[in-house]
Homo-oligomer: A and B are copies of this chain.
Amino acid sequence: MSPTRIPEATVARLPVYLRALNSLLEGDTRTCSSEELATAAGVNSAKLRKDLSHLGSYGTRGVGYDVEYLRYQIAREIGLTQDWPVVIVGIGNLGHALANYSGFTSRGFRTVALLDADSARQGELVAGLKIRPFTELSAIVREHGVAIGVIATPAAAAQSVCDHMVDAGIRSILNFAPSVLTVPAGVDVRMVDLSSELQILAYHEQRKSAPATPDPLDPGVVA
């Protein structure tokens, strides 16, 4: 009974719930209350219940949730019952790490190709895959039905790589380059900016140590 769209904030938390449920299953927990699951996921239990209610009514009042069943329902909602072919472009420091990351494959994603524009890198074997020329993107997307692309190139190349991805038919992009990407409607971009994360931490850190901002340039309350 969920023909309605799921709120974006809820969607962003579903992967967290999925992780928590997997942890519980490893500990042989068959059933759990919203309180337990919320604690494991690090959220408020009311929020958890409301989130889950958007997917449907998968719990039992007075009892809780069947861990295995709920996990399946969330996985189905996200679309992890199939697995998604992914290409990674830009196999430098970060690209190598991503290619070697087992967490992607174990969570419904399959890296089908590693691409790089630098001919010196091509042919190198990373995590069992050969690095291939960027020009093969289009053929690879067609062959494997790739819908998701990861950009791990320098910022200067990101928009160009993005454009080629879109042309090739990729409709979802995960961007690690610190650069704003422009895409046509219908294409999703998610940006992961590690420097921004540190800067946000720095902002709060500064506020902790200096409760009263001195700032010699600021005249204070303008009288």
Contact = CB atoms under 8 A, between A and B. Distances in A.
Given A19-B178, A192-B194, A79 B202 contact: yes
Interface in A174-223: 174, 178-182, 186, 188, 190, 192-206, 208-209, 215, 221-222
A68 interface: no
A94 interface: yes
A49 interface: no
Interface in A141-172: 147-148, 171-172
Given A77-B203, A78-B203, A192-B192, A198 B174 contact: yes
Contacts of A1: 221-222
A14 B78 CA distance: 31
A19 B76 CA distance: 38
A205 B96 CA distance: 25
A80 B200 CA distance: 11
A44 interface: no
A180 B40 contact: yes
Contacts of A104: 194-195, 198
A16 interface: yes
A93 interface: yes
A202 B80 contact: yes
A205 to B, nearest CB: 5
Copies in the complex: 2
A222 B42 CA distance: 34
A98 B205 contact: no
A101 B94 contact: yes
A108 B200 CA distance: 12
Nearest to A43: B180
Nearest to A6: B203
A130 to B, nearest CB: 18
22 contacts: A3-B221, A11-B200, A11-B204, A12-B200, A15-B193, A19-B178, A20-B180, A42-B181, A42-B182, A77-B203, A78-B199, A79-B203, A86-B198, A98-B194, A107-B199, A109-B198, A148-B205, A172-B202, A188-B201, A190-B200, A192-B192, A192-B194
